[in-house]
Amino acid sequence: MPRRSANADPADPAPALSRGIDLLDRLSRDGPQVLERLAETASLPKSSTLRLLAALERLGLVARDPATRRFHARAALVRGGSDAAEAARQRQVLAALARDSGQAAELWELRGNRLVMVDRADPEDASTAVRARIGYERDLSEADAVAVVAFAFLDAPLPARHTRSSDHRLAPASRASVQQAVRQCRREGRAADAGINSNGVRRFAAPLGRAVIALAQGGGVPPGRDDARLLALVGAVSG
């Protein structure tokens, strides 16, 4: 007869499901973690934790970085009530923005000192050359449009050093130039990348509640082409 874990709730009809949901919630809330740390915080044996993570990985809900050996969430849990209504509204906004712009529409959240992509929509009748997917996370050192909006409206802390994309590469940026971009973003309610990043992408971003909504324009399109339309679209849905 299978043994029940010492911390299992005897009234729980599906303890394995509950543990899997708890692991996904921890990764979504706390960010990427190695197996040992996740097992410790969840009070589970490493073997059980690994089996649950493998099941979540097969479902596409988590992924493991082979270089760092850390697991990260590829989906975020949404609670019922007002949170569920807000998430449904955000998904509708993303879908409409992707359709109207012909570009990938992204939703980013600030978690600690990192930005995490929690949702994305792509236009149905066009392909996009944007590699970042749901679950992708990054620090705040690259002062692109998404980070600038987070500094301006989400109270994200300014790091000691900054970089900015220029001609498909990162270049150092002064703190004064980033602060100026933040002030401009507060005045205009939106921000745009001045240069193309190393993946050939420029972003146009605005606040959406306690998140950042962005249009990601792939394909190495140079600044100036279609900028006004994309800025207007992302600015129109902010709030």
Q: What pLDDT digit, counting tens, does each position of 171-188 carry?
A: 889 999 999 999 999 999
Structural domain harbouring 124: 82-236
pLDDT value for 1: 32
Q: Which one of 50, 73, 96 terminates a domain?
A: 73
CB 150 within 8 A of CB 178: no
184 Cβ neighbours under 8 A, 6+ residues apart: 191
Please indicate, yes or no, whether residues 64 and 162 belong to a single structural domain of this protein: no
| 75-102 residue pLDDT tens | 766 554 556 777 788 889 999 999 999 9
Does residue 185 lie in a domain region? yes
CB 103 within 8 A of CB 215: yes
Q: Using CA atoms, how far apart are residues 239 and 233, in angstroms rounded to an integer?
A: 13
Distances from the Cα of 117 to the Cαs of 35, 59, 63, 192, 235, in angstroms?
22, 18, 14, 17, 19
Q: Which one of 73, 91, 116 terminates a domain?
A: 73
3-state SS assignment for residue 116: strand
From the list 75, 74, 128, the residue with the least C-alpha distance to 97 is 128
Which secondary structure element, helix H or strand E, spans residue 28, and what is its range? helix 15-30
Please indicate, yes or no, whether residues 90 and 182 belong to a single structural domain of this protein: yes
pLDDT value for 78: 58
| 7-44 residue pLDDT tens | 555 666 788 888 999 999 888 777 889 999 999 999 99
Please indicate, yes or no, whether residues 63 and 94 belong to a single structural domain of this protein: no
Does residue 159 lie in a domain region? yes
For 236, the token pair is 């129109």
Q: Using CA atoms, how far apart are residues 157 and 162, in angstroms rounded to an integer?
A: 12
Count of structural domains within the chain: 2
- Select, from the ranges 68-72, 136-140, 228-232, the one with the highest average predicted confidence (pLDDT): 228-232
Phi then psi for 183, rounded to 5 degrees? Answer: -60, -40
CB 57 within 8 A of CB 68: no
Please indicate, yes or no, whether residues 95 and 57 belong to a single structural domain of this protein: no
Please indicate, yes or no, whether residues 134 and 213 belong to a single structural domain of this protein: yes
Please indicate, yes or no, whether residues 107 and 211 belong to a single structural domain of this protein: yes
- Kindly report the CATH number assigned to the domain that includes residue 30: 1.10.10.10
Q: Using CA atoms, how far apart are residues 102 and 189, in angstroms rounded to an integer?
A: 22
| AA identity, residue 179 | Q
- Kindly report the CATH number assigned to the domain that includes residue 131: 3.30.450.40
